[in-house]
Amino acid sequence: MSSKIRRSMPLFPMGTVMKLTDLSARQIRYYEEHQLIRPERTAGNRRLFSLYDIDRLLEIKDLLDEGINMAGVKKILLKEDEPVYSNVKDHLKKEKKEFTNEEVRKLLRRELINAGRFHRDDFPSGEKFRYFH
């Protein structure tokens, strides 16, 4: 899936992100210090944010509005950064094992099934796949 790549594409400068998220440059840079976002840099050291970064910033803002402090926000968002098998390829890589076409199809099917149980907050520990948004 290339949409994932496109979401991570560095596109927007600070000013645009400030308007889009209604956050101050100070806040945005502060969240970056806390590893909540990882914007790229231009040759001139200017930050370039991706759609994914903007989405993260909006989530941070929501969590903060809900009264959660930075420590809490970090715990929640960094948790999502844990090795997550967002696609079969990553899963295969993690397994260090060759999969037959049939096994790949099984994984894909399971992935689609899981994708369906979207806004259901039941993620048993040990769950191989997790989805957000």
Contacting positions for DNA (CB under 7 A): 13-16, 18, 24-27, 29-30, 44-47, 64, 70
- Where on the phi/psi map is residue 22: left (φ > 0), alpha (ψ -120 to 50), or beta? left
Instruction: Retrieve residue 76's tokens.
Output: 């929640």
Query: Least CB distance from residue 18 to DNA, whole Å?
Result: 7
Q: Which is nearer to DNA, 42 or 89 (CB)?
A: 42
Provide the token pair at 93.
């890589």
Task: State the nearest-atom distance from the C-beta of 74 to DNA, in Å.
Answer: 12
CB atoms within 10 A of CB 53: 26
C-beta of 30: minimal distance to DNA in Å? 6
Q: What's the chain's Rg over C-alpha atoms?
A: 17
d(CA 25, CA 36): 14
Cβ(39)–Cβ(9) under 8 Å? no
In the complex, the smallest distance separating the C-beta of residue 6 from DNA, rounded to whole angstroms, is 21
Give dist(CA 17, CA 53) in Å, integer. Answer: 9
Q: How far is the CB of 44 from DNA (least distance, A)?
A: 6
CB closer to DNA out of 58 and 84? 58
Residues shown for the chain: 133
